[in-house]
Amino acid sequence: MRYLPTVFLLLFLKTFLWAKTTPICSDCEVKSILEGVQRASDFDTLLIKNGTYKEFNILIDKPLTLLGENYPIIDGEDQGEIIRIVSDNVTIDGLFIINVGTSYTTDYAAIRVVKSENYLIQNVVLEKLFFGIYLEKSNNGKVYHNKIIGDAIDEYNSGNGIQLWYSHNVVVDRNIVQGVRDGIYLEFSDNVTINNNTSANNLRYGLHFMFSNDDVYTNNVFENNGAGVAVMFSKRIKMIGNTFRKNWGTAAFGMLLKEINDAEISGNTFEENTIGINIEGSNRIEYTNNNFIKNGWAVKVLGACYTNTFTKNNFLYNSFDISYNSKLNDNVFDQNYWSDYTGYDLDKNGVGDVPYRPVKLFSYIVNKTPETIVLLRSLFMDIIDFSEKVSPVFTPDKLLDANPLMKKAL
């Protein structure tokens, strides 16, 4: 037993020092990636030189590094899946993958990771894809700095950019996803960190997640997606410093929250969305330091939302600040800045002396009878809004911001 450490050391040295780098190119010894993978031993590096490789169904079943030089093109010729990783410790770096097959029965992906750990997928460019990067029951990985540009037209025959399914502790960082069905999609994936991504011009959602708890989203940009961002059935989510912009359309939201509990939403910017945040059945959420700018509805509360707090948010130039469909209110609005606030501050302490009522009578009426929205921006509506503001009758009388700020919260 004395030699055991030595044996391990030797094994270790063998794996790391004797790990080979195999070049792959059209006039090298190894001409295809598949061949390279089959010949390689564990912990080898395949250096894929610039060129076009018409390959699909590349199965990576041992710990390898696939390193592309000057973005070699892997053309799947619409045949099916391109790379499938079924081994731990695989790194994919610097590839340009195009033409993933479209299927109505199988979710073909450009890169699929199945039941593997410690993977790293970075600097990959995907075009003409069905599904992009598909992580399936694979924990502890990193998806970093990839660019996914789809050309999806219809929802039924397009896939998602980055999809996580039962994959925990994954970091998704600095990716750009465009023109697919859902930009980033998570299901049953806990402790995932999603930072600095840009998800834009997607058919359905920029970010879509369900049943995924304890996830953190920071500094992402979601822009001009068909329906914005949908967040459902999850607990203890943190969303910090994200930007939701220009999700504009009759059924578009900046963010849709459904059955989200104990979340923290702070420092986000919601700009020019039809509905900034649509909240349904979500409790104990703290909204702080968010900016709601030029939305149709800044916040639309649809019921069963209790003990949410809105503090130090900026509501700037929205058509409707808050919309409520019930007279019951258990949510707290305090120390927000409202651009529609017309009160005064005599003692100059920066807090308005008259409370602000964010629910306009018109938004109350529209909730009751949606057809009345055709009277948007008519003089009559301005007049009754004003009279309701002076003496509230219909809107929930406890729904007010007792300390509206006179200047924008930073």
Q: Which residues bind another protein (CB under 8 A)?
A: 248-250, 252, 274, 296-297, 319, 365, 368-381, 383-384
**135 Cβ neighbours under 8 A, 6+ residues apart:** 112, 113, 141, 143, 162, 163, 164, 165, 167, 170
The one-letter code for the residue type at 34 is L
**Neighbour tally for 340: CB within 10 Å:** 17
Cα separation, 190 vs 175, whole angstroms: 19
In the complex, what is the shortest distance from the CB of residue 379 to another protein, in angstroms, rounded to a whole number?
Answer: 5
End-to-end CA distance of the chain: 65
Pick 43 or 248: Cβ nearer another protein? 248
User: Which candidate, 7, 52, 60, 58, places its Cα nearest to that of 26?
Assistant: 52
Q: Residue 216 corresponds to which tokens in the numbers above? A: 């953190």
The kind and range of the H/E element at 193 are strand 193-195
Nearer to another protein, 297 or 356 (CB): 297
Residues 341 and 319 sit within 8 Å (Cβ to Cβ): no
Nearest distance from C-beta of residue 136 to another protein, angstroms: 37
Q: Least separation, in Å, of the C-beta of 347 and another protein?
A: 30
When the beta carbons of 6 and 369 are compared against another protein, the nearer one is 369
Q: What is the sign, positive or negative, of the torsion defined by CA atoms of 335, 241, 184, 283?
A: negative
- In angstroms, the CA 151 to CA 78 distance is 14
Query: Minimum distance from CB of 350 to another protein (Å)?
Result: 25
Q: Which is nearer to another protein, 105 or 369 (CB)?
A: 369
Contacts of 385 (CB under 8 A, 6+ apart): 360, 361, 362
CB of 376 to another protein, least distance (A): 6
Q: How far is the CB of 251 from another protein (least distance, A)?
A: 8
| Nearest distance, CB of residue 380 and another protein, angstroms | 4
Q: How far is the CB of 326 from another protein (least distance, A)?
A: 17
Q: What's the closest the beta carbon of residue 41 comes to another protein, in angstroms?
A: 58
Q: Which is nearer to another protein, 241 or 249 (CB)?
A: 249
- Encoded tokens for 210: 């369900």
Measured from the CB atom, the residue of 348 and 377 that comes closer to another protein is 377
| CB atoms inside a 10 Å sphere around CB 83 | 27
Secondary structure percentages of the chain, helix, strand, coil, to 5? 10, 35, 50
Instruction: Between 131 and 320, name the residue whose CB sits nearer to another protein.
Output: 320
Please say which residue, 142 or 294, places its beta carbon nearer to another protein. 294
Q: Of 172 and 252, which CB lies nearer to another protein in the complex structure?
A: 252
- Please answer whether residues 228 and 206 qualify as being in contact, where contact means their C-beta atoms are separated by less than 8 angstroms: yes
C-alpha distances in angstroms, 42 versus 67, 120, 156, 162, 296? 15, 16, 40, 27, 56
